Amino acid sequence: MMNSKLAIATIIACGLFQLLSPQSVSAEQVIWFGNRSEDGASLTYGTPDSGYGKIVFSCEAGQDDVYFIYEHRPIIAEEGTQVEVFLAAGGVEIAIPTTGSRLEIDDAFLLEGLTKLDDNLRKILTAGGELIVTVEDGSEEFPLDGAADAAKHLLQVCSPNG
């Protein structure tokens, strides 16, 4: 059940990349951008108009379940591998249980998981500074410049009152 929901979230997020991305940003520029539809919302760190998202958070309207997708280059890329991904920013850290899958069309390895839009995730997404993403075999840092503004739809829509 969770895998089908994650697949749906991935498809929705990729569709949103193509349909609703800002037109004024260069295709090579990796930024935080958010989208909203009648069905839900997403926050992506990626390249608008390209279908590429290194990090994606998405939800269905009125739900505080947030689907998390992280493109990762593990030392050993095993389909179905289960690993916790740690997100840290602004003095807050959360762990998201994920499952690995290969996206053959792009030869990408994705870690997909489900978390809640709670106070800690809200603080991370609006913290500023750097987002540190840690997986068993390493970590990456991403600037949070523009993330708080880009997250506004996700923060509004992804709640039982949204």
- Greatest Cα pair distance in the chain: 41
Sequence spans of domains, the chain: 2-157
The C-alpha atoms of residue 52 and residue 125 are separated, in whole angstroms, by 19
Assess whether pLDDT exceeds 80 at residue 47. Answer: yes
Q: Any idea which fold 2-157 has?
A: Immunoglobulin-like (2.60.40)
**Tens of pLDDT, residues 23-37:** 334 446 899 999 999
Instruction: Tell whether the model's pLDDT for residue 79 goes beyond 60.
Output: yes
46 neighbors 26 (Cβ within 8 angstroms): no
pTM of the full structure: 0.81
* For range 132-146, the mean pLDDT: 94
Lowest mean pLDDT among 17-21, 65-69, 70-74, 84-88: 17-21
